[in-house]
Amino acid sequence: MARRRQTVTIKHVAADAGVSLQTVSRVINNEPNVRPEMQERVREAIARLGYVPSIAAQRMSGSRSYLILALNDRTRTIADWRARQGSDWVDQMLLGGMLKCAEHGYRMIFELVDTHNDHVERELLAAIAALQPDGVVLTPPHSDNPLIVGVLTRQGIPFARIGSLGQGGGIPLIMDDEGSARKATQALIDLGHRRIGFIAGDAEYSLSHWRVEGWRAAMAEAGLPTQGLLAQSDFSFAMGAQAARDLLGQAQAPTAIIASNDQTALASLDVAHALGLAVPDDLSLISFDNTPVVRFARPALSAVDQPVAETVARAVDLIIAAQRDGTVPDGPVVVPAGLVMRESVAVVPRG
């Protein structure tokens, strides 16, 4: 029977180098006040023994935990997972956050918190006490929840707020939702569309309002009306379908629709087909998010490509900088989104 290889620990490194555990920890964490020759001895021991620093070893210095806590909304996340409808917000969030954490020698811990829970403060404090994170990444709607923001501010923990302008503290990051909506609207205007409908997202999210504002601004600049062309949704397929029926059921129906997320765009496509409308010959569609499912729709949907991974990676960079030396940006950090044009958009139909 093969013998199990013994795990190399910080104690082995200390014994091999002939130094204390605290000295090894300081070298691992790049702490000051360690003589160059001592650093060299420890690094040689690490290389010789094949030691891989653990979170526990890194935490021995007491100054950092090397953990970043990412929070997402429990209700919506679990609903998306159970629906299995192709939303990949969490995947992209972890992709950007975990890879960036790894670059810095950190780990990302992902937690779900119900922003509507009356005990959200207690729930968050319990997570902080258990994990002692160096920073926290908030996603909508947590980003603008005053209870959550208040807890983190009082705790003195650096935190990033994605999809927020940052009133009340924290490091705000936005994905230029207003500018993206303007760009999508202008793309349709350039193709000759004059009646462009917009399906808004959940009103609880600031980004929903920014997207509407971008659409309104582009329409106003082109001298085009918006009356009767705005429909409300909550990012769900069902509400998106109802919003699309409201828009397309008008006597003067829009020739194009911009939907605030992929689920409402897919719902709009479904409604269009049910009404006998061909996309894009009778109706052009542009979505927000650009999750994998829109590429496999028929026709493939044009979409604003939300840079979720890039934004969360940037958030991690900013949190670590703030934790180390208090450096924070003066205003919201803007991570621009792209616009991917596919087969769901065409010139305005004649007639």
Q: How far is residue 290's CA from residue 89's CA, in Å, rounded to a whole number?
A: 10
Please tell me the CATH superfamily of domain 67-175+308-336, with its number.
Response regulator (3.40.50.2300)
What is the maximal distance between C-alpha atoms in the chain? 86
Higher pLDDT, 196 or 127: 196
pLDDT at 310 over 50: yes
Structure tokens at 77: 């996340």
> Average pLDDT in the 104-111 region?
91
% pLDDT > 70, the chain: 93
From residue 177, give the alpha-carbon distance in Å to each of 164, 180, 262. Answer: 11, 5, 15
pLDDT at 56 over 70: no
Q: How far is residue 299's CA from residue 285's CA, in Å, rounded to a whole number?
A: 10
Q: How far is residue 71's CA from residue 117's CA, in Å, rounded to a whole number?
A: 14
pLDDT at 119 over 80: yes
What topology is assigned to 177-305 in CATH? Rossmann fold (3.40.50)
Specify the pLDDT at position 63.
Answer: 62
Specify the pLDDT at position 81.
Answer: 87
State the DSSP string of 259-303.
ESSHHHHHHHHHHHHHTT--TTTT-EEEEEE--GGGGGSSSPPEE
Specify the pLDDT at position 48.
Answer: 87
Q: What digits encode the pLDDT tens for the residues 146-178?
A: 999 999 999 999 999 999 998 889 999 999 999
Specify the pLDDT at position 4.
Answer: 43
Q: For the chain, what is the mean pLDDT?
A: 89
Specify the pLDDT at position 1.
Answer: 41
Amino acid letter at 251? A
> Average pLDDT in the 2-9 region?
59
Specify the pLDDT at position 301.
Answer: 97
Q: What digits encode the pLDDT tens for the residues 223-263?
A: 999 999 999 999 999 999 999 999 999 999 999 999 999 99
**Segment among 46-60, 120-134, 269-283 with least mean pLDDT:** 46-60
* CATH topology match: 10-59 vs 67-175+308-336: no
Percent helix, strand and coil across the chain, each to the nearest 5 = 45, 15, 40
> Average pLDDT in the 189-216 region?
96
Whether residue 336 is preceded by a cis peptide bond, meaning omega within 30 degrees of 0, is no
Q: How far is residue 163's CA from residue 154's CA, in Å, rounded to a whole number?
A: 21
What topology is assigned to 10-59 in CATH? 434 Repressor (Amino-terminal Domain) (1.10.260)
Q: Where are the domains of the chain?
A: 10-59, 67-175+308-336, 177-305
From residue 282, give the alpha-carbon distance in Å to each of 143, 193, 228, 304. Answer: 39, 11, 19, 21
Enter the pTM of the model: 0.79
Higher pLDDT, 273 or 125: 273
pLDDT at 55 over 70: no
CB 244 within 8 A of CB 274: no
Specify the pLDDT at position 3.
Answer: 42
> Average pLDDT in the 139-148 region?
91
